[in-house]
């Protein structure tokens, strides 16, 4: 029988493709190596998944041979290749797209060069350099466009540069697909100039960090660390839920477990929700283990990212830290996988391959005999239920680790009965204003939390009541007064603001009249972080106030703001949920949630759980050291279970109640969900396509008790997004097997839909919008 190889190629198709292995390559083509093979009329680069002697499948009319072998050894460990295959199958994701998650962009760039230029294979194999440590930066000149030729992306880039000063071309490419061509055009017109400069060093390693000595663990920490150490020693694989209150010292347990893992000669992966905003965490890891870490984050240059990837693949580095994509690091012999803040929704990817990094961390650990530790002060209901069924072992940290530190006192302010303070701002209640005054006088710091960015969440007509909405999305436009450099012309910025869609990034000057009745009666409605910051500056003019949200701080800017917060150069920090993610600030004694109701009112069965988690996590920033903390929760629903349990620090009570409610309505973790997302520019076409898929799934299980409930089709809560009408069909079942069969039926029919319809399978959905 012939020797055949199944090869994944970078195309959005659900299958791998079978090729014949030439005799000359028979002993060198193994899973994980890259090969050059014919695909259609071109040559493409693929990764070998499996190799075996077998009959040629009958559906293959012409078997093509592998053209060339690029690697002398697998570029991906076989363990990782098998894991990627399972992930692809579970999420109904094209294996070629899944492999993109594991291969760095430098390697994908080599593939594109091969496909386009037919590059010499031997030269590629000998290549040792991956590019210098320099970057191209573009900045605007003082010239004025008199040609009238600057339009589209070129105009947007020019406006962005004039607002921000300069930017690396590589960063522009993340927002503008045609950035290089646009910059070339602007350079020709004399409107911008480019220069080459040395790339900045990775900010996580820019300053030396002295090595530390492991502290003495508390009794609870010792018990947790001992349980993980025992599991590591057995090398059979195990799963733990490290359930500890905020400030209980979960990180110290992680460090202890990693140390044990390294002593055994195995590697560790550490996954966090927002690596770019947690340099303090990386600093603690460097202090314990030195600089022999791979820190994977969005601000890392491709050359540095590739160097880290190579060091992991060669076994030179055994600890990798990062956001969800660190799951795919080519770590040799992983022994420990840690998912910090496992409840965080950012672990679910919402575009492309819609995988959940927490769930896949459990799978990868299980397949490699590694230990997986999920940590949280507010664990997800799914993880809690796994402890009840014996699939995870709970480890408890019931008290704060710092000597004498206690959980903060929480005050619930009912906005229906309590009025504003002396400043008169409706969202700065009298208790909140007084608490901020007291904290400022004591020389301590405050965090004021509002999970809504912008100045005003909506612009409403005082005459007809119409709300200004995005022309491409069924959402209100948010008014921004100032913030990050956007693709808005400088005249608009000078006039004092613009409206923006937070979903499709549409920007425009603030309208002068209502788009409905044309009356000049537009009013700003609601409260965003920008408006809250402005109100606080008016109320406390001598206070040092800063804002942390996506409009003003991302990546290095966010790190700089948090560094100033640690250095006590900020008195009051206003922010969205970015301020809730793992920060340990000893001088923060007051935390305020300005509007707790916003998260509780979303059309999502997880709204109560997420609202509760946000309140507990943001409250957990207060009083983490010797100074006692205070938390103020402002709400119009003071009796809501989420608010009541957060105020009493009753996490277990909330989880118990919510589990009862979920069981009654048959939602996860007591059922499995698949969301079929269908959208099209034509509303009727999208609706009819969704109805057709729902009908086909229903008809696939006739004459028997329906093990899979088909709900829908229904319009999505955000019914129109980026000019496309959106409909959903939800499949729900108690068991995974029947649900998978129904999803396979849906996938078959979705493949037959017209090209004008986009259909996506979302297994275990997190966002219901």
Buried b (16+ CB within 10 A) or exposed e, 629-659: bbbbbbbebbebbbbbbbbebbbeebbebbb
Neighbours of 213 (CB within 10 A): 7
Count, residues in the chain: 769
Q: Could you tell me which residues come within 8 angstroms of residue 99 by beta carbon, excluding any fewer than 6 positions away? A: 8, 10, 47, 84
Strand order in the sheet with 66-69: 17-20, 3-8, 42-53, 34-39, 66-69
Torsion of CA 11, 13, 16, 20, to 10 degrees: -60
The DSSP bridge partners found for residue 590 are: 446, 630
> Encoding tokens for residue 406?
């206690």
Strands (E), 74-183: 134-140, 167-168
Closest CA to 431 of 421, 442, 423: 421
The pLDDT of residue 316 is 87
Report the chain (769 residues): mean pLDDT per 10 consecutive residues.
90 86 92 89 87 89 89 88 94 91 65 47 39 70 80 83 75 78 89 75 66 90 96 92 92 95 95 76 87 78 78 90 92 94 93 95 96 96 97 94 81 92 89 95 94 85 87 88 47 58 84 88 84 92 91 71 88 87 82 90 89 91 84 94 95 96 95 96 96 94 79 92 94 94 95 94 92
Q: What is the spatial distance between Cα 107 and Cα 302, in angstroms, rounded to a whole number?
A: 10
The pLDDT of residue 383 is 97
Residue with tokens 């969440």: 457
Would strands 545-548 and 572-575 be described as parallel, antiparallel, or unpaired? parallel
Cα separations in angstroms, 589 against 97, 198, 226, 284, 331: 46, 42, 33, 23, 41
Q: What is the spatial distance between Cα 336 and Cα 368, in angstroms, rounded to a whole number?
A: 10
Three-state helix/strand/coil letters over 464-489: CCCECECCCCCCECEEECCCCCCCCC
The pLDDT of residue 123 is 39
> Encoding tokens for residue 357?
């990094």
Closest CA to 670 of 735, 739, 761: 735
Strand order in the sheet with 371-376: 294-296, 319-322, 267-271, 334-340, 371-376, 238-244, 393-397
Q: Are 482 and 492 in contact (CB under 8 A)?
A: no
Radius of gyration of the chain (CA): 27
Q: What is the spatial distance between Cα 6 and Cα 21, in angstroms, rounded to a whole number?
A: 10
Q: What is the spatial distance between Cα 550 and Cα 85, in angstroms, rounded to a whole number?
A: 35
The pLDDT of residue 414 is 94
> Encoding tokens for residue 189?
């017109």
């Amino acid at each position: 029988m012939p020797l055949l190889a199944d090869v994944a190629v970078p195309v959005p198709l659900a299958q791998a493709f079978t090729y014949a292995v030439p005799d000359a390559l028979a002993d060198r083509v193994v899973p994980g190596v890259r090969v050059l093979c014919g695909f259609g009329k071109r040559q493409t680069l693929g990764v070998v998944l499996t190799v075996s002697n077998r009959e040629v499948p009958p559906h293959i009319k012409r078997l093509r041979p592998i053209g060339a072998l690029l690697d002398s050894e697998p570029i991906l460990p076989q363990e990782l290749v098998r894991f990627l295959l399972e992930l692809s199958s579970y999420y109904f994701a094209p294996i070629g797209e899944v492999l993109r998650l594991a291969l760095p962009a430098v390697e994908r760039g080599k593939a594109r060069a091969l496909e386009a230029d037919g590059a010499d294979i031997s030269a590629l194999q000998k290549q040792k350099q991956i590019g210098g440590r320099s970057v191209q930066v573009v900045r605007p000149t003082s010239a004025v466009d008199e040609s009238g030729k600057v339009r589209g992306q070129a105009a947007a880039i020019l406006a962005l540069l004039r607002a921000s000063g300069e930017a690396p071309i590589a960063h522009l490419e993340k927002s503008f697909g045609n950035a290089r061509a646009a910059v070339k055009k602007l350079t020709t017109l004399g409107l911008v100039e480019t220069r080459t400069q040395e790339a900045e060093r990775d900010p996580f390693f820019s300053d030396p960090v002295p090595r530390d000595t492991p502290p003495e663990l508390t009794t609870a920490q010792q018990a947790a660390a001992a349980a993980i150490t025992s599991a590591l020693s057995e090398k059979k694989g195990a799963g733990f839920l490290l359930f500890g209150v905020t400030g209980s010292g979960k990180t110290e347990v992680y460090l202890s477990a990693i140390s044990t893992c390294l002593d055994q000669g195995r590697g560790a992966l550490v996954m966090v929700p927002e690596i770019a905003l947690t340099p303090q965490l990386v600093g603690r890891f460097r202090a314990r283990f030195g600089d022999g870490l791979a820190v994977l984050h969005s601000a890392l240059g491709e050359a540095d990212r590739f160097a880290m990837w190579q060091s992991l693949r060669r076994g030179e580095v055994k600890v990798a830290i990062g956001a969800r994509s660190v799951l795919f690091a080519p770590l040799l012999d992983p022994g420990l996988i840690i998912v910090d803040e496992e409840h965080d929704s950012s672990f679910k990817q919402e575009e492309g391959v819609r995988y959940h990094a927490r769930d896949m961390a459990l799978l990868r650990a299980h397949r490699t005999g590694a230990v997986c530790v999920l940590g949280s002060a507010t664990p997800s209901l799914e993880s809690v239920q796994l402890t009840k069924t014996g699939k995870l072992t709970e480890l408890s940290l019931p008290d704060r680790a710092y000597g004498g530190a206690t959980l903060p006192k929480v005050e619930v302010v009912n906005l229906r009965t309590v009025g504003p303070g002396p400043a008169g701002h409706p969202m700065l209640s009298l208790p909140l204003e007084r608490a901020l005054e007291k904290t400022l006088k004591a020389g301590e710091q405050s965090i004021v939390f509002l999970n809504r960015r912008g100045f005003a969440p909506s612009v409403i007509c005082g005459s007809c009541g119409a709300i200004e909405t995005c022309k491409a999305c069924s959402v209100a436009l948010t008014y921004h007064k100032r913030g990050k450099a956007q693709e808005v012309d400088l005249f608009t910025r000078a006039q004092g603001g613009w409206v923006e869609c937070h979903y499709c990034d549409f920007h425009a000057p603030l309208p002068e009249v209502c788009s409905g009745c044309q009356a000049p009666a537009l009013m700003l409605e609601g409260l965003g972080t920008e408006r809250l910051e402005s109100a606080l500056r008016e109320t406390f003019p001598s206070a040092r106030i800063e804002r942390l949200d996506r409009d003003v701080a991302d990546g290095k800017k966010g790190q700089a703001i948090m560094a100033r917060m640690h250095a006590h150069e900020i008195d009051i920090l206003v922010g969205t949920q970015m301020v809730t993610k793992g920060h340990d600030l000893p001088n923060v004694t007051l935390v305020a949630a300005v509007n707790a109701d916003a998260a509780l009112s979303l059309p999502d069965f997880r709204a109560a759980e997420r609202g509760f988690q946000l309140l507990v996590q943001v409250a957990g920033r207060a009083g983490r050291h010797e100074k006692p903390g205070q938390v103020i929760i402002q709400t119009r629903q003071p009796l809501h279970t989420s608010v009541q349990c957060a105020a009493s620090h009753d996490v277990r009570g909330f989880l118990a109640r919510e589990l009862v409610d979920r069981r009654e309505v048959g939602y996860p973790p007591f059922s499995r969900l698949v969301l079929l997302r269908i959208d099209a520019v034509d509303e009727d076409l999208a609706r009819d396509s969704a109805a057709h898929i729902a009908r086909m799934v229903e008809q696939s299980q006739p004459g028997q008790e329906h093990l899979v409930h088909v709900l829908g089709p229904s319009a999505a809560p955000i019914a129109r997004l980026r000019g496309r009408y959106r409909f959903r069909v939800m499949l729900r079942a108690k068991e995974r097997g029947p649900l998978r069969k129904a999803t396979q039926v849906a996938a078959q029919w979705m493949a037959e839909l017209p090209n004008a319809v986009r259909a996506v399978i979302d297994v275990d959905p997190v966002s219901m919008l």
